[in-house]
Amino acid sequence: MKRPLISQKKNVARSGGPRRSFFLLVWAKRSAWEMCGVFLTSASRMEVVVYFTALFPYVCLFVLLIRGVTLPGYQKGIVFFFRPKWESLMIPKW
């Protein structure tokens, strides 16, 4: 293990230094751990974004509903929305 890692020779005068592949391996491992750390910390921040984007449309719809109910003549609009026009529904038109 020791000889291939640092390319150690039997002669002390001709001892080799560390291999580039070892430094590449260490650099890749460190980069992978750093990316995992970034993803884990950003995941907690993304949780807030997900909650906001999931709930914000419903909040807007609720506000628009309250606003629509407080306008004058809202009863006519609700009746128009929920009462179908049967004569229009009987016409088979695409």
Q: Where are the domains of the chain?
A: 23-89
Measured CA to CA, the distance from residue 77 to residue 69 in angstroms comes to 10
pLDDT at 4: 59
Measured CA to CA, the distance from residue 94 to residue 42 in angstroms comes to 49
Measured CA to CA, the distance from residue 30 to residue 38 in angstroms comes to 12
Report, as an integer, the average pLDDT of 20-28: 80
Q: Is the whole model's pTM more than 0.85, yes or no?
A: no
| Residue 75: strand, helix, or coil | helix
Q: What are phi and psi of 7, to 5 degrees?
A: 45, 55
Give the lowest-confidence range in 13-17, 34-38, 48-52. Answer: 13-17
